[in-house]
Amino acid sequence: MMEFPVELISYLTKATRVAVLTGAGASQESGLRTFRDAQSGLWAQYKPQDLASPEAFARDPKLVWDWYAWRREAIKGVRPNAGHYALAEMEKRIETFTLITQNVDGLHRMAGNSNVLELHGNILKVRCSECGTFTEVWGDDSESVPRCERCNGMLRPDVVWFGESLPRAELESAVNAARTCQVFFSIGTSGVVQPAAALAHAARNKGSVVVEVNAEPTPLTPKVDFAFHGKSGEILPELVKAVWG
């Protein structure tokens, strides 16, 4: 049984507004590589940042399409981990609970969270790169990137690439949640990708208690009120148990 500071337990017992930001580390124990983990196999030769961009898609659309198809297949085989379920439990216990995620794997909703803001989109959704029409089905993609039925534009994953703007509604809601929460969690994120990484600072500037749960220290660590370095799938269930029994 992990020990938690009594002040943190007291903050969470009394809290009515909590915001959480998660990154790839929150899905690591589900078997998904984090963004900065070395890619495996065919993809080992590429850096994610060099594939997740409009320039990469313009340069070699099939390579980028195939990378996302490979990641979609990997996600179909994984399930939420104990850390995801602990956050779903927390949402039940806190009056206003906002789960802001950088992850595109859909695992938070699968674990039962409903107030989820997907800042970087969702890899399981596919849209036309020209007219924006969403589609669930597409033709054979072995030779070339499948095309939109309406305008024949190339299909693409509905994720936010580097250099692309985040969805306005989700970002505004995330900033509002960070600014109004009493407790802000930063979980499983290296805290380098902007503007998501700025949310913890927005919370801190408004006087929120900031808690980091991450496998290793990050640039945020010196600025938080409580830092727990370890696996979110181990720490979060223990925290939920310590606060809500």
Binding site for Zn ion (CB under 5 A): 128, 130-131, 133, 148, 150-151, 153
Which residue of 63, 69, 175, 215 would you call a contact of ligand BV8, by CB under 6 A? 215
Give CB contacts under 8 A, 24+ apart, made by 228-234.
231/28, 231/29, 231/83, 232/25, 232/26, 232/28, 232/29, 232/81, 232/83, 232/187, 232/188, 233/29, 233/81, 233/82, 233/83, 234/82, 234/83
Which residue of 145, 190, 228, 239 would you call a contact of ligand BV8, by CB under 6 A? 190
Which residue of 18, 20, 23, 117 would you call a contact of ligand BV8, by CB under 6 A? 23
Distance CA 37, CA 65 (A): 20
Which residue of 99, 155, 193, 203 would you call a contact of ligand BV8, by CB under 6 A? 193
Question: Which residues make beta-bridge pairs with 135?
Answer: 126
Which residue of 102, 122, 182, 186 would you call a contact of ligand BV8, by CB under 6 A? 102
Backbone angles phi, psi at 44, to 5 degrees: -55, -25
**Residue 35 interacts with ligand BV8 (CB under 6 A): yes or no:** yes
Considering the complex, state which of residue 126 and residue 210 has its C-beta at the smaller distance from Zn ion.
126
Closest CA to 123 of 110, 138, 104, 142: 104
**Residue 231 interacts with ligand BV8 (CB under 6 A): yes or no:** yes
Which residue of 75, 104, 155, 224 would you call a contact of ligand BV8, by CB under 6 A? 104
Helix (H, G, I), strand (E, B) or coil at 165: coil
Question: Which residues make beta-bridge pairs with 158?
Answer: 122
Task: Take residue 49 and report the two structure tokens written for it.
Answer: 């940042």
Site for ligand BV8 in 116-155 (CB under 6 A): 120
**Residue 56 interacts with ligand BV8 (CB under 6 A): yes or no:** no
Quick one: which segment of 6-14, 57-65, 90-98, 182-190 binds ligand BV8 (CB under 6 A)?
Answer: 182-190
CB 79 → ligand BV8: shortest distance, Å?
A: 15
Distance CA 109, CA 85 (A): 10
Q: Which residue is nearest to ligand BV8 (CB)?
A: 25
Helix (H, G, I), strand (E, B) or coil at 213: strand
Helix (H, G, I), strand (E, B) or coil at 92: helix
Active-site residues: which are they? 120
CB 14 → ligand BV8: shortest distance, Å?
A: 26
Residue numbers at the binding site for ligand BV8 (CB under 6 A): 23-25, 28-29, 34-36, 49, 52, 102-104, 120, 159-165, 188-190, 192-195, 214-216, 218, 231-233
